[in-house]
Amino acid sequence: MSFIDRFATLLFLAIAIGEALAKSKTKSKKKKFPVGAIVAIIIVVILIIIVVCVVLFLLKRRKAKQAKQVNNFGGEQPTSYPLANGNQNTPDKYEPMGNQPQQTATKAFEIQFVSATEFTTTGQGAGLRAHMDFKEAYARLKEFDVLIIPGGGVDPLLKEKAEPLGLIKAYSDLQKKDPKKERTLMSVCTGSLLLAQQGLLSGLSATTHPDYYAKFEKLCSEVAQRDLAERTDVVEERYVVNNLRFDLEDEAQTPYVRRKSDAKPPTMKRKGSNAWKESNTRRESTIRRAALRLGGLRVITSGGVSAGIDAALYLVSVMVNEDVANESARVMQHTWQKGIVVDGIDI
């Protein structure tokens, strides 16, 4: 029962008790009960009910805040921030969420949905309830480590310059102003077109759903001319990672540079949750991140739904560890197909 339902029930009960007292005293021949006293009793009862309801509401809110989980990786949970807009594909929203490691006491990521309205219906008819609207999202943008942009019906958003275009740009600008924190911007399917529209893919490599390669490349070309910026290298891959971050075995070691031509992955003893935490505190990491495009914002674009799962597994591997990513794939009975990473400095 909601707060309003409880209040209405108790209010009606108080009024009924007051009316019953009034009738019983009126019928009494010994002494008439003053009407003013009856009204005063009703007001007092209503005030008590209001106070009790407010206290219960505050206690419930406090309990919800205390229930925020702290993961077992030595710090606060990385918070991912998927967008929910009408006409977008249901799997694009849910598949990155299904990849976080399931544990009895905690999860590696805390998920928050944002939408223009509290309730959003996807293109497949599934209903989603948002945790916050865009106004609150702007106010809390600094809290989030990952921003996920799902695909689907993006044409109306591009035409009307609607959200989440503004939020995407604000998140990118935040990284450039504050490179001390490691942040990730990830798109699934045609969500990459929204990143391209905001000029975030200029000079980077990117991909999208195969059916949209031509449209994506055309949009990237138009944006490059509009902004007098570098062209986007559109590639046909499962997912593409820019500004990747692999941590060093030894902090005194020269930063490792990985290229997409590398056949053998590097040794990464500190890769995962500890590396993620340390990368937000090491001065060296901050300096190197600030020198990269977009302030070192990690940009991941993926193809369709299953490719989005692969990209999400990659994200789990770098923010938690690779064993957890492999276990998540096993639980989902999914074969993790690797994408590519472009030239990047280990930060």
Distance from C-alpha of 196 to C-alpha of 187, rounded to nearest angstrom: 11
Q: 132 — alpha (psi -120 to 50), left (phi > 0) or beta?
A: beta
Look at residue 104 and tell me whether its pLDDT is greater than 90. no
Q: Give CA separation, 112 vs 121, 137, 140, 143, 244, in Å.
A: 17, 10, 11, 11, 24
Other Cβ atoms within 10 Å of 26 Cβ, number: 11
Regarding pTM above 0.75, the answer is: no
Q: Please classify residue 110 by burial: count the beta carbons closer than 10 Å to its beta carbon, then call 0-12 exposed, 13-18 middle and 19+ buried.
A: buried
CA-closest candidate to residue 106, choices 148, 134, 76, 143: 76
Look at residue 188 and tell me whether its pLDDT is greater than 90. yes
Whole-number mean pLDDT of the chain?
Answer: 75
pLDDT band at 153 (very low <50, low <70, confident <90, very high): confident
pLDDT at 17: 65
Place of tokens 């694009």: 92
Indicate the fold that domain 79-345 takes in CATH: Rossmann fold (3.40.50)
The most confident of 73-87, 117-131, 207-221, by mean pLDDT: 207-221
Distance from C-alpha of 193 to C-alpha of 172, rounded to nearest angstrom: 15
pLDDT band at 81 (very low <50, low <70, confident <90, very high): low
pLDDT band at 331 (very low <50, low <70, confident <90, very high): very high
**Kind of pairing between the strands at 119-121 and 205-206:** unpaired
The domain spans of the chain are 3-66, 79-345
The answer for residues whose C-beta is within 8 angstroms of residue 268's C-beta and 6 or more apart is 246, 247, 249, 275
Cβ(180)–Cβ(145) under 8 Å? no
Collapsing DSSP states into helix, strand and coil, what is residue 152?
A: strand
Q: Stretch 314-324: mean pLDDT, rounded?
A: 86
